[in-house]
Amino acid sequence: MNHALAALPESAFYFHLAALALLLLSFFSGRAILQVLATREGRRERAQRLVRVAIGRLAALGAIWTAIVYGHGAWERAGAHNCRHLPAVDAAARYAAETCYLRHDRLLLRVYGDGGGGGDGGGGGREHLLAHRTITSVGPVHVSWDGQALVYASPAGGAPGRLALPPTWRDRLLARLP
């Protein structure tokens, strides 16, 4: 079965996983409603208890889903190879970008900063990661700088992506995670 799942596109795997989760959620919700309606005595208390349990289960399902998706992304980013460094020009000179291949149709785009301020940055002057994006493209991605952003576009068309400089607080936060 493992080889069958590997043949599915990534989006199809997550679609099937979500469909299974919704099916289980529907089954347990129906069972809970039947349990609440079983007898008249204590119906309100049973309903309140089951609502609390359902909310807890939904929160746990959301946490598990987030962990699976994030863990897959972190595992994929760890296998980055054939990286190419793209120094910034002009107004964005304190930034640098790097593109790396993840697999045949996925690329990783990283933006590094100059470390912001002196001190003992460690790492021998190595820049620190400010943001990263994973891009799906069947061909080479064209990356260029404009004054306020790093622009990336795939040859397949579609709207070009932009990574604002300086990166947003969300991009900085996600870049700190593995």
Mean pLDDT score of the chain: 76
Q: Is the pTM above the cut of 0.85?
A: no
Site of tokens 């946490």: 63
Q: What is the residue type of 110?
A: R
Helix (H), strand (E) at residue 81:
strand 81-87
pLDDT of residue 7: 44
- Banded model confidence at residue 121, pLDDT cuts 50, 70, 90: very low
Gap between the Cα atoms of 78 and 44, Å rounded: 51
- Going from N- to C-terminal start, the domains of the chain cover 2-78, 81-176
- Banded model confidence at residue 9, pLDDT cuts 50, 70, 90: low
The string of pLDDT tens digits covering residues 77-120 is 888 888 888 776 665 467 888 888 887 778 888 888 875 544 34
- The radius of gyration of the chain's CA atoms, rounded to the nearest angstrom, is 23
- Banded model confidence at residue 158, pLDDT cuts 50, 70, 90: low
pLDDT of residue 109: 86
